Amino acid sequence: MAAALTSASEALSETGDANAALAMAREALPLMQKQGNVGRIAACHAVLLQALTVLKADSLGAEIVAASAADDPNLTLSRRAQLLDAIAQALAAQGRHAEAYQELQRANTLRAQSLDRQRVTVMLRLQARYEDARRGAETAELRRRSETAQLALQAREAGQRTLWIALCAACLLLLGALVVLAFGARHRRQLSRLAMRDELTGLPNRRAIRSEAQQQIEQALRSQIPCMLALIDLDHFKLINDVHGHATGDAVLKALASASKLALRTQDRLGRLGGEEFLLVLPGCNAEEIPALFARLRSAVAAIQIPGLPADQPVRFCMGAVSVTAATGLDVLLSQADLALYAAKTAGRDQWAVC
């Protein structure tokens, strides 16, 4: 009964009926736990994660913890990979992309190990078949001396058929290996994009933009060229979300990302730190250029028509900038930029300041 419920919930999850899959998985899970069937328990957790992810349920975080606890080393590799895939999707849905990246890596590793075992099993079977056929051919050769020429011809034909079977099987195995390599490469590209890009704006995420800032700081200090870092914070962003809805708030974030492509130089990099806060890396820029840069970016943002936002309420932001100086770390520079940002907001918003 419990196994039937688990299979039904997996099938419902595949058809897209998340509510039905959720109900059946919840009914099956206690029965599986009572039986101690770790494979079916993992399957139930995978279905629960998929359904809760689709439904964007509040209990998704708790289910991630429960599903992680169900990752038993005694599970089959394919079942563990299925569970880790579901955990990664749930983590990504919560914006926990670094953890999602780690779980996807683990799932990919387990799938590769499973495929390696399958390949070894197939090769051993082929080798056994080939050895059996070879021994049969040798026996037939011994018999040939006392049998007619027709029997010898039949033995040779049997050996040739065996060789063709082995050759065809080897070709299929090679083709399978190529498919696995192609899938792995595509999966690695997906993981790389997930780890380094902000899903909403397409800008570098917090991890990526901090890494870029650190590289530019080191380059500026080595080459003795100017470099600026600037924090950007949207004015009254919470009010926009509360009054016009989160969809409009998302459109505002995307507008800033689009405007940056028009207003910034080729070497400048804008990334999203989180919420309505962005980090701007400006290699080769000095403090005297900040007013003009702020004006260009301000005009570019104002020129974008944002759905859901009245035309008489243009998007405004504040900027706090700091110059890179010798022996100053990234965190210290960001703290100084944050002080400048606070000064700009205190001055009445829609302002810039340099620390």
State the pLDDT confidence band at 16, using cuts at 50, 70 and 90: low
Based on the fold, state whether residues 249 and 330 are members of the same structural domain.
yes
Please tell me the predicted confidence (pLDDT) of residue 58. Answer: 86
Based on the fold, state whether residues 77 and 132 are members of the same structural domain.
no
Based on the fold, state whether residues 185 and 228 are members of the same structural domain.
no
Boundary (domain end) residue, out of 44, 71, 95: 95
Based on the fold, state whether residues 327 and 216 are members of the same structural domain.
yes
CA 305/CA 299 separation, integer angstroms: 12
Based on the fold, state whether residues 122 and 23 are members of the same structural domain.
no
Boundary (domain end) residue, out of 140, 171, 195: 195
100 lies in some domain: no
Cβ contact 212:204 at 8 Å: yes
Cβ contact 280:229 at 8 Å: yes
200 lies in some domain: no
Residue 2 has pLDDT above 60, yes or no: no
201 lies in some domain: no
Half-sphere exposure (Cβ direction) of 355: Cα atoms closer than 13 Å: 23
Range of the domain at 68: 2-95
Cβ contact 196:128 at 8 Å: no
Cβ contact 327:294 at 8 Å: no
Nearest Cα residue to 260 out of 270, 252, 250: 270
Residue 6 has pLDDT above 60, yes or no: no
Based on the fold, state whether residues 226 and 315 are members of the same structural domain.
yes
Percentage, residues of the chain above pLDDT 90? 38
Mean pLDDT over each residue of the chain, to the nearest integer: 86
Please tell me the predicted confidence (pLDDT) of residue 194. Answer: 58
Based on the fold, state whether residues 338 and 212 are members of the same structural domain.
yes
CATH number at residue 323: 3.30.70.270
Boundary (domain end) residue, out of 95, 121, 147: 95
Based on the fold, state whether residues 241 and 347 are members of the same structural domain.
yes
| Mean pLDDT, range 327-342, rounded to an integer | 92
Tens digit of pLDDT for each residue in 180-189? 776 666 766 6
Token pair of 154, please?
């039949």
CA 21/CA 48 separation, integer angstroms: 8
Tens digit of pLDDT for each residue in 194-235? 578 999 999 999 999 999 999 999 999 999 999 999 999 999
Based on the fold, state whether residues 231 and 329 are members of the same structural domain.
yes
Q: Is 249 exposed, middle or buried (0-12, 13-18, 19+ CB in 10 A)?
A: buried
Based on the fold, state whether residues 79 and 126 are members of the same structural domain.
no
Please tell me the predicted confidence (pLDDT) of residue 1. Answer: 47
- Helix, strand, or coil here: 309? coil
39 lies in some domain: yes
When divided into structural domains, the chain yields a total of 3
Please tell me the predicted confidence (pLDDT) of residue 286. Answer: 93
CA 211/CA 216 separation, integer angstroms: 9
Based on the fold, state whether residues 211 and 328 are members of the same structural domain.
yes
Based on the fold, state whether residues 44 and 143 are members of the same structural domain.
no
